Structure 1
Amino acid sequence: MARLATEADPRGRTRVQILRSGWPLMLRTTLPREPDVVTGWVARDDVAQVHLTAAGAGPIGGDRLRLEVRVGQGSALILGEVSPTLLLPGPHGERSRTEIDIHVAAGATLAWLPELVIAAQDCRHRTDIRVTLHAGARLLLREEILFGRHQEQPGTFRQRLRVVRDHRPLYDQELAVGPGTPGWDGPAVTAGHRSAGTLLVVDPDGSAPAPATARAPHTAVMALAGPATMVSTLAPDTATLRRRLDTALARIVTGRRQATVQRSPRGAGPAGIRVRVPPRRR
């Protein structure tokens, strides 16, 4: 099991309290990000930055992986991944499993940005993600899934994401694709698209995104209690998928910045929030 925990020091600045890798999940502290949409949403200079990397291939059929993350009260963490995760079949047809347990304490902030998950042909995998948010906690979570490698059908993949806030369910979603899942590629699920992604933003101080967020095709926006916003999209390829999620996040951050400016006293700035949206490639 890999474990990561942050806390606020006596001066209120974030520091990494526990950094314990569990093969093949390796945790490493990393240099600060360049200012971008994510740092604009976090809006803190003392954020801890950690990346998860794999020390071996997989998960492979039969593997059982577990990651535990604790973001202590008043601290802030950006957790990313170095590379995509490729789910592979095992030699005996066994199912692999990943369990991720996240707790974000009162007044804490977590931006969790895992890289793409690729469900390779013949894999059998289940992922369970449980997120617990306490009063005033903020969460930015992005997930992206590719159904099989180039010109191959996906294996059997099932993922459940459950978020609880103040002991009440906020978001509970399960996706199942691949053989043995009737209708997974039909119009009610993936509609024949090769990739799917979700963006979940829980921000008690934020505001709902502008309706323009939903202009991208095959993209839905839902306002949740919290307040929180969920953006779900389907795309023919991963580049389009990431672009749509990045655009949605930029609009959410911009809406939060505008709301903060409106609440600030006359002459005050937007609480240090900086937003820089990379130019669109032509």
Structure 2
Amino acid sequence: MTSSLEATARIVAEPDGRGGTALPVLAGAGPIALRRTRGHRVTLIGSMAAPLGGDRLALRIDVRPGATLELTSAAATISLPGRDGAPAHYTLDLTVGEDARLDWLPEPVVAASGSTLHLTTRISLAPGARLRYREEQVLGRHHDRSRGAPPGRLTSRLTVHRAGRPVLDQQTDLGPGAPGWDGPACLGGHPTAGQLLTVGLPAPPPPPPDADAALLALPGEDATLLTAIAPDALALRRLLACSQQH
């Protein structure tokens, strides 16, 4: 018998006709609770421990033409082991319409010891859409590392298309069993990794020369990707925050 669950949450944002954003659909599901906190901001609140091994969770966001949506979270998403060792799956489908904007700024995803998470993010942008997408990954909880326990396994696939053309297609595989994940070509001993993707926004400044970070130009004149690794989540956030554009 398994305790795994399947749940899909949905958000639809559209102009309210008064210069603001309406949310005709704000539907949480299972462990994904959604709260409108102010203006065009929605906060994701975990209503129970998740994702657990075997869970299949999904969040679908549709930002319709002319609307603006910012998504944050109240706490980190912590991947936990299930009873039978099965991986958890978390799928994000983000669609941004013409002249619309999405700011995706949640707290980190943490791979707790013994867990396996497959995170799939698909982003579809219409012409003129604007995107700021921050992704932070932490290998192991603090008390896992303090007792010498290995982190969990985290496989993340991110694909981004604008007007049907590919902007980015990448996969990272981190944690025990992933080839070379902790070597000098990947994390180099650091427990955190992250990136800031911007499309349709001013290019961020380059990171400090002594930082373990790189700013890359992506297809199109206004698409960039800042990638970074750091010794802890706070240092990682500082690297990514210094390049966020409003």
TM-score normalised to structure 1 length: 0.79
Within the candidate set 165, 168, 172, 1:168 is matched to 165
Spell out the pairing of 1:200-279 with structure 2 (5 A cutoff). 200-203=197-200, 206-211=201-206, 213-226=207-220, 227-249=222-244, 253=245
Q: Which runs of 5+ in 2 are unaligned?
A: 1-7
Within the candidate set 3, 10, 22, 1:3 is matched to 10
Shift of 1:164: 0.6
Shift of 1:220: 0.3
Q: Is the deviation greater in 193-202 or in 150-159?
A: 150-159
Whether contact under 8 Å (1:196, 1:241) holds in the other structure is yes
Query: Percent identical across equivalent pairs?
Result: 42
Greater radius of gyration (CA)? 1
Query: Which residue identity lines up with residue 125 of structure 1 in the other structure?
Result: L
Shift of 1:66: 0.6
Higher fraction of strand = 2
Q: In the alignment, what sits opposite 2:22?
A: 15
Tell me, what secondary structure is at the counterpart of 2:132? strand
How far apart, in 1, do the equivalents of 2:20 and 2:213 lie? 38
Tell me, what secondary structure is at the counterpart of 2:98? coil
Q: Which runs of 5+ in 1 are unaligned?
A: 33-47, 254-274, 276-282
Whether contact under 8 Å (1:216, 1:244) holds in the other structure is no
TM-score normalised to structure 2 length: 0.91
Deviation beyond 4 Å, 4+ runs, structure 1: none
Tell me, what secondary structure is at the counterpart of 2:181? coil
Q: In the alignment, what sits opposite 2:99?
A: 107
Query: Which residue identity lines up with residue 22 of structure 1 in the other structure?
Result: A
How far apart, in 1, do the equivalents of 2:239 and 2:122 lie? 25
Within the candidate set 78, 96, 105, 1:86 is matched to 78
Q: In the alignment, what sits opposite 2:120?
A: 128
Aligned residues: 233
Higher fraction of helix = 1
Whether contact under 8 Å (1:214, 1:220) holds in the other structure is no
Shift of 1:188: 1.2
How far apart, in 1, do the equivalents of 2:78 and 2:159 lie? 23
How far apart, in 1, do the equivalents of 2:164 and 2:208 lie? 30
Within the candidate set 72, 75, 88, 1:96 is matched to 88
Tell me, what secondary structure is at the counterpart of 1:215? coil
How far apart, in 1, do the equivalents of 2:159 and 2:44 lie? 21
Whether contact under 8 Å (1:154, 1:177) holds in the other structure is no
Within the candidate set 12, 37, 50, 1:58 is matched to 50
Shift of 1:12: 4.6
What is the RMSD of the two structures over their aligned residues, measured on CA atoms? 1.4
- Residue deviations 1:143-197 (CA, integer Å, cap 9, x gap): 1111112213211210111111110110112110112212110111111111001
Shift of 1:214: 4.5
Shift of 1:106: 0.5
- Residue deviations 1:72-116 (CA, integer Å, cap 9, x gap): 100000111110011100011111100110100001000011111
Query: Which residue identity lines up with residue 158 of structure 1 in the other structure?
Result: T
Query: Which residue identity lines up with residue 191 of structure 1 in the other structure?
Result: G
1:196 and 2:193 are equivalent in the alignment: yes
